[in-house]
Amino acid sequence: MPVRYQPKDIEQRLRNMILEYITKPNVIILAVTPANTTIPSSDGLMLAKLADPEGARTIGVLTKIDLMDAATDVVDILSGRVIPLRLGYIPVINLSQRDIERGKSISLSLHAELSFFENHDAYKAMAQYCGIPYLSRKLVIHLIRSALPKIETKIQDVLTQCQNELADPDDMLREGTADPASLGLVIITKFCNEFRTKFKKFPQLGGPFYQAIIDFLRRQLDTTKKVVTDLT
């Protein structure tokens, strides 16, 4: 419902804006739903189903787990027996307004969240798959899995290009005046610049992704050693 100076069609505008983003095939949808409501009819899941009918790229995020009535839980939802999602459901406990007013820190909040799941009869067997840290790891892993093949292809293209240029270093030396050491420095500098340019296209990727790239490059070390040996 519109309030104060909001336009009368604010609800439709928000709906259209959300659908504009979540209908993109490479977008992961976080369908956030309070666990103390009727989950199957939540707005988040209903919108997600419009954009992702098969539930292939939707993660159900269930909040307010700690505010549910006694003797109730969301185990059936988490197991996928109600509305199955390929990426599953993750229960979390956010800071409440009261926590914020009291100045409760994020670290204390995460510790309390972990303690809740580890000591709750319904969730303690699956506590490692609950909470905000697990949700963060799941998103990072999915991002790496979706982006790494593209980055690996680009790196392979650069390596192939460099290998073609280095097919016969003697010819390159005969055509110029550079000695092997200078030529090697030029080649390494050029490769580093190409590498840096490729990475700038993916500013949203973090530490785990770069570690994956480092591991990939280590596998190329033998090729690099061969090039250096040829130049010397």
> What pLDDT tens digit does each residue of the chain (232 aa) get?
677 778 888 889 999 999 999 999 888 999 999 999 888 889 999 999 999 999 999 999 999 999 998 889 999 999 998 999 999 999 999 998 888 999 999 999 999 999 999 999 999 999 999 999 999 999 988 888 877 788 888 888 888 877 666 555 555 555 555 566 666 776 777 777 777 776 666 665 666 666 766 666 676 666 656 555 555 5
Token pair 């270093």 is found at 169
Contacts (Cβ under 8 Å, ≥6 apart) of 41: none
Residue 131 and residue 61: Cα distance in Å, rounded? 10
Measured CA to CA in angstroms, residue 176 lies from 76, 164, 182, 188, 230 at distances of: 72, 17, 11, 17, 17
Q: How far apart are CA 80 and CA 78, in angstroms?
A: 5
Residue written as tokens 């700038």? Answer: 200
Q: Quote the pLDDT of residue 200.
A: 67
What pLDDT sits at residue 19? 93
pLDDT of residue 90: 96
What ranges do the domains of the chain cover? 10-130, 146-231
Q: CA 157, 158, 160: angle at the middle one, nearest 5?
A: 65
pTM above threshold 0.85? no
Answer whether CATH 3.40.50.300 is correct for domain 10-130: yes
**C-alpha distance from residue 39 to each of 46, 62, 105, 122 (Å):** 10, 9, 29, 18
Q: How many angstroms separate the Cα of 32 from the Cα of each of 61, 78, 114, 177, 187?
A: 5, 13, 19, 64, 50
Residue 31 is predicted with a pLDDT of 95
